[in-house]
Amino acid sequence: VCELREWRPVARRRCTDTPWLLLFFLFWAGLVFIAGYAVMAGAAERLVLGYDSFGNICGRKNTPVKGAPLSGQDMTNKKYVFFLNSCSLEMQSLKISAVSLCVSSCPQEQLNSLEDLQSFARNNGSCLCVYNLNISSYTLNPKAAELCPSLPVPPSKSFPLFNRCVPQNPECYSKYASVLISMVNEMDVFHRILSGILAGRDTVIGLGFLALAFSFILVLAFRFIRTLLVHTLIALVVFGLLFVSGVLWWLYYDYKNDPSTELETEKENVKFLLGYAVFSTIVTVVLLSLILVLRKRLQFTVQLFRIVGKIIGRIPFLLFQPLWTFLILIVFWVFWVAVLLSLGTAGTAQTTSGGQVEYRALSGISYMAWYHFAGLIWTSEFILACQQMTIAGAVVTCYFNRNKNSPPPHPVLSSISVLVCYHLGTAVKGSFLITILRIPRLVLLYLYNILKQKESACAKCLFKCCFCWFWCQESCLRYFNQHAYTTTAINGTNFCTSAKDVVFILAKNSDKLASISCFGDFILFLGKVFVVCFTVFGGLMAFNYHRELQAWVVPLLLAGFFAYLMSHSFLSVFEVTGDAMFVCFAVDMETNDGSAEKPYFVDQELLTFVSQSNKLTEGQKHRSMRPFQDNEDGTELQPMV
């Protein structure tokens, strides 16, 4: 084993992992190019609002398309798509071949003649014939039968997805639905995801704010934690797990026995509900077993969080630090979704016979979408890594300070300045490693969806084993990344050197720190489970009231993913503070001996807590712990000003 480096917080630093920072800038240059390309070539409003056969987007003003005389119209008050022959639709190349128009309202009653169409247009202001036919000419123009809808026009109502006028006549509805089912079922996964996001965008935003509220409440609760609060949290987690599992199984049974389930997206809802229910049940059983085994260490957990709370009390702005992280994540996610929607509608307008307009998809869009998705993972992980390094740097600054009654000024701002000036490359490298482990999981998931009809039971088991292996690798890497960031904050070394040093120091002190850190992280994990459980439950209740052809599996997954990221972002204040504190403690024990020449930096309360919790060996117990003195022996981390 190599000799351990000298551990000392340094005041003079140098930039670490600069090539990785340059690589990240180049990667983001690609993201900016894709965003610009998507904005120029895409039209997300087509997917959101719907469009007619002449290149007009319903519900907004439009620009003319060359060769299409009926394009470029103001459709601000015409928000619904109406098909002229809704009772005899045909689909060609994933597109409905019938002529479609933007109308202000769908006909609520059956219209049997051209006079009825004329009367409906005059009374409701909704013209159901082609735009170049005046209302007064409905009964006079000899071509009115070709320019107006097929008679009789069945009553219809607006469709909640894509703003379509859906006929209510049973015979017409069955034909209309069969064509729509074929169109949706043959859409690729990319466009289904877009449709799912759009269908539940308002609900996902509401669930995001719900997760934010739960996360903030938990942060305040952990700051002033008491034994009763730990019992309350565990009781809520147990109740949430059992309740959400029960609701998932009930919804699965309800959807499975619903005779109206015809769309592939609805069938996918049923499959994913089963997957949610099984996964939730397994998680419930595992967590309940762990809670039962570890129930005797609750008082120990309270003492741990009191010590962490004392450190946060010295740096109160740490509690507000996740807010700017959350705001940055929200801004980035909004940007990411907007670009994704624009990519999904990127295409060139081409005129056809009769002055109609078709949009031809551009080549290479799917590759851009995968690149864009990798950007979501890498950038999100980078933002969270910056938060971890900021918290770790502030904790290190206060720990390696002799006078505990006079903490350094502005430790959070000092840590941010050190991060921005020197260690952004280290955060980039750590987040990149997480991304590299996530991408194979996504590729396996993609292959699994493609081959699920042909695979054998052995192949299915192999896929699941690979998923589990990558998940375990990612969890371990996250753990070491967090400690490597703390080591970088102490020594100012690059990522690889910091990772090597922290593995060495943790291996020497594993008997002291393993149980403490793991049990504290377990309680914080229960807090994250609490946020995700109640957010997903709110999503289940919200989406259950909107069953009309909505692919709500994707929005629910997004809501759960965002809820976990938010809770992780907020609760990581305690997690990173505790882990950084124990790394500093291990370094302190390694480099000092409590003598007058090398006094400890640790305070008496933390040392007593670790000694009682882990029953230090006799040799460690004989170490003398001298009271702290306001001397200048040893090296301190000087905050940047």
Establish if 619 belongs to a structural domain: no
pLDDT above 60: residue 519: yes
Angle formed at CA 438 by CA 377 and CA 271, multiple of 5 degrees = 100
Cβ count near 295 (within 10 Å): 10
Stretch (H or E) spanning 357 = strand 357-361
Instruction: Work out the pLDDT band at 548, boundaries 50, 70, 90.
Output: very low
pLDDT at 176: 63
The pLDDT tens digits for 245-303 are: 887 788 778 777 765 555 555 666 677 778 778 877 887 887 778 777 766 666 666 77
- The answer on 79 and 216 residing in a single domain is no
Angle formed at CA 397 by CA 392 and CA 401, multiple of 5 degrees = 140
The pLDDT tens digits for 359-415 are: 776 677 778 888 998 999 899 999 989 988 999 989 888 888 777 667 678 888 888
Where does residue 487 fall: left (phi above 0), alpha (psi -120 to 50 degrees), or beta otherwise? alpha
Angle formed at CA 164 by CA 163 and CA 169, multiple of 5 degrees = 140
Q: What integer is the mean pLDDT of 451-470?
A: 70
CA–CA separation, 372 vs 562, rounded Å? 17
pLDDT above 70: residue 431: yes
Backbone angles phi, psi at 2, to 5 degrees: -70, 155
Which structural domain, as residue segments, surrounds residue 332?
A: 187-345+359-614
pLDDT at 429: 94
CA–CA separation, 399 vs 315, rounded Å? 11
The pLDDT tens digits for 150-202 are: 888 888 877 655 577 878 776 676 566 555 545 444 444 545 555 555 555 67
- The answer on 557 and 594 residing in a single domain is yes
Q: What integer is the mean pLDDT of 301-312?
A: 76
pLDDT above 50: residue 621: no
Q: Are 244 and 533 in contact (CB under 8 A)?
A: yes
The lowest-confidence range among 9-13, 129-133, 399-403 is 9-13
| Whole-number CA gyration radius for the chain | 30
Establish if 123 belongs to a structural domain: yes
Give burial (CB, 10 Å; 0-12/13-18/19+) of 286.
Answer: exposed
> Cα separations (Å) of 246 from 224, 269, 273, 276, 543?
32, 17, 12, 11, 17
Quickly tell me which residue has 């539940």 as its tokens.
Answer: 200
pLDDT at 529: 79
pLDDT at 9: 58
Establish if 146 belongs to a structural domain: yes
Tokens of 237: 């987690």
- The answer on 259 and 158 residing in a single domain is no
- The answer on 193 and 222 residing in a single domain is yes
pLDDT at 378: 93
CA–CA separation, 376 vs 381, rounded Å? 8
Quickly tell me which residue has 């793991």 as its tokens.
Answer: 518
Tokens of 328: 């940055």
CA–CA separation, 483 vs 198, rounded Å? 39
pLDDT above 90: residue 19: yes
Amino acid at 401: N
Amino acid at 14: R
Instruction: Work out the pLDDT band at 631, boundaries 50, 70, 90.
Output: very low
The lowest-confidence range among 45-49, 224-228, 498-502 is 224-228
pLDDT at 517: 66
pLDDT at 268: 63
- The answer on 238 and 166 residing in a single domain is no
Q: Are 30 and 367 in contact (CB under 8 A)?
A: no
Stretch (H or E) spanning 236 = helix 227-256
Quickly tell me which residue has 């309800």 as its tokens.
Answer: 254
- The answer on 248 and 139 residing in a single domain is no
Report how far apart the first and last C-alpha atoms of the chain are (Å, whole number): 39
- The reply to whether omega before 142 is within 30° of 0 (cis) is no
Q: Which residue has the higher pLDDT, 518 or 512?
A: 518
Q: What integer is the mean pLDDT of 440-457?
A: 67
pLDDT above 60: residue 133: yes
- The answer on 291 and 150 residing in a single domain is no
pLDDT at 449: 64
- The answer on 178 and 255 residing in a single domain is no
pLDDT at 162: 59
Establish if 544 belongs to a structural domain: yes
| C-alpha 428: how far from chain center | 19
pLDDT above 60: residue 593: yes
Domain's final residue, options 134, 152, 183: 183
What residues have CB less than 8 Å from 494, skipping those under 6 apart?
Answer: 16, 17, 425, 426, 488
C-alpha dihedral (381, 383, 388, 394), degrees to nearest 10: 170
Domain's final residue, options 168, 183, 198: 183
Amino acid at 419: L
- The answer on 197 and 141 residing in a single domain is no
Q: How many domains does the chain have?
A: 2
CA–CA separation, 497 vs 575, rounded Å? 23
Tokens of 8: 């000392």
pLDDT at 637: 42
Q: What integer is the mean pLDDT of 39-45?
A: 74
pLDDT at 639: 41
Q: Are 389 and 415 in contact (CB under 8 A)?
A: yes
DSSP per-residue letters across 571-614:
HHHHHHHHHHHHHHHHHHHHH--SSSSS---S-HHHHHHHHHHH
Q: Which residue has the higher pLDDT, 499 or 189?
A: 499
* pLDDT above 90: percentage of residues in the chain: 8
Establish if 302 belongs to a structural domain: yes
Establish if 365 belongs to a structural domain: yes
pLDDT at 624: 40
pLDDT at 20: 95
- The answer on 203 and 162 residing in a single domain is no
Q: How many residues are there in the chain?
A: 641
Q: What integer is the mean pLDDT of 18-33?
A: 95
The pLDDT tens digits for 374-387 are: 999 899 999 989 98
pLDDT at 26: 96
- The answer on 202 and 166 residing in a single domain is no
Domain's final residue, options 128, 153, 183: 183
Give the predicted TM-score (pTM) of the model: 0.69
Establish if 501 belongs to a structural domain: yes
pLDDT at 614: 57
- The answer on 200 and 122 residing in a single domain is no
- Tell me the average pLDDT of the chain: 76
CA–CA separation, 32 vs 531, rounded Å? 33
Establish if 30 belongs to a structural domain: no
pLDDT above 80: residue 104: yes
